[in-house]
Amino acid sequence: MLSYIVRRLMFLPVVLFGITVLIFALISTLGPWTRVATFIPSPDAERHVDLEAIIRKYNLDDPPLKMYTRWVNNLLHGNLGWSQSSHMTVMEAIKRRFPATLELTLFAVIPVIIGGILLGVISSVYHNKPIDHTTRIMAITLWSMPDFVLGLAVLMVGYGVLGWFPPGRLSAWAELEVLKESFRSFTGMHTIDSLLNLRFDIFWDALRHIIAPVFTLACLWWAFMLRITRSSMLDVLNQDYVRTARAKGLAENVVIKKHALGNALIPVTTVAGNMLLGLLGGVMIVETVFNYPGLGLLTSTAATRLDVPCVVGVALFYAIILVLVNLVVDLLYSVIDPRVRLE
């Protein structure tokens, strides 16, 4: 097991090497101006002064190999470059925005997993009955709903008509409160921090802001989860050991809970990993719709302003998370399914 983890972690540098080479090759096709911003981690790039001087100062006319090694060296020291669209270093921007996105994702994962699995099981137990048809049609309709269409609709109703769920992350007054000295920041996630600070008014405000984007994200992935659980359950319910369990005279509810569900959830674990990654990527659109200042909004703003260093930094950050999450999923997989031997 340990050697497996080590070997998988060793794959991380390989992946990062591949990605950095790929990105470097793409960037090399750019004009010198954008390159300046990509390779130097300071606001110098913003003052449109003497381009020649900057190029000389940072040796930007070096041969590609030398540039690449220097760039990677910078990356390894946490130097991701200067983001023109957010006026700070990319590292700083990611550090500030990531908690918001993590908060959003965590909130969305809970209803998706609970609701998706529950309804998936119900749907499979009543296979081809009216309940099954209804949930299936609901799921497939939601799954066909592009996130921005659903998001716009939710915003229109939840904020425009009802006035309950405003866009953004906090109201202006709460924003000021959070920045005060007396408010201690533990995680950067406002809902949790406000509870730890015993500020229930801020908690309520943060909650009001996060519900609409969470709902939008959850709807889409809930449908996905339901479909996977359903087909996996159907598969298991047709297995011989389930028939044996029934033949022994066990109550149907015991058969489902004790014999079928555990095995049916195995493929669901893999999917849950993919879902977490999909959520992290999918927040780009949802955050933009709801003007929620997380990594997704950072990326999409940066991309529309052609702020390459920022987008590249976020991409590298995501790549690391992706490899780590996949590793965790594989490990979980071996815990849940004893037939899986990690080698």
Judged by the rule CB under 8 A, the positions of this chain that interact with other proteins are 11, 14-15, 18-19, 23, 26-27, 29-30, 34, 127-128, 136-137, 140-141, 143-149, 152-153, 155-156, 159-161, 227, 231, 234-235, 238, 277, 280-282, 284-285, 288-289, 299-300, 302-304, 306-308, 311-312, 314-315, 318-319, 322-323, 326
Whichever of 27 and 40 has its CB closer to other proteins, that residue is 27
Q: CA nearest 99: which of 210, 243, 4?
A: 210
Q: CA nearest 272: which of 235, 233, 325, 308?
A: 325
Whichever of 131 and 195 has its CB closer to other proteins, that residue is 131
Separation between Cα atoms, residue 83 and residue 93, nearest integer Å:
8
Single-letter code of the amino acid located at 312? V
Whichever of 88 and 195 has its CB closer to other proteins, that residue is 88
Tokens of 150: 């659903």
What is the H or E stretch that residue 69 is in?
helix 64-76
Q: How far is the CB of 297 from other proteins (least distance, A)?
A: 10
- For 34, list phi and psi in degrees, rounded to 5: -65, -35
Q: Output 134-139 pairs: Cβ under 8 A, ≥24 positions apart.
A: 135/226, 136/230, 138/223, 139/222, 139/223, 139/226, 139/227
Q: How far is the CB of 86 from other proteins (least distance, A)?
A: 14
Q: How far is the CB of 31 from other proteins (least distance, A)?
A: 11
Whichever of 197 and 231 has its CB closer to other proteins, that residue is 231
Whichever of 150 and 178 has its CB closer to other proteins, that residue is 150
Q: Assess contact for 155 and 285: CB atoms under 8 A.
A: no
Q: How far is the CB of 68 from other proteins (least distance, A)?
A: 16
Whichever of 74 and 326 has its CB closer to other proteins, that residue is 326
Q: How far is the CB of 339 from other proteins (least distance, A)?
A: 19
Separation between Cα atoms, residue 267 and residue 329, nearest integer Å:
11
Distance of CA 283 to the CA centre of its chain: 7
Q: How far is the CB of 63 from other proteins (least distance, A)?
A: 21
Contacts of 214 (CB under 8 A, 6+ apart): 104, 107, 108, 111
Q: Output 201-206 pairs: Cβ under 8 A, ≥24 positions apart.
A: 201/174, 202/170, 202/174, 202/177, 202/178, 205/170, 205/171, 205/174, 206/169, 206/170, 206/174
Whichever of 119 and 178 has its CB closer to other proteins, that residue is 119
Q: How far is the CB of 54 from other proteins (least distance, A)?
A: 20
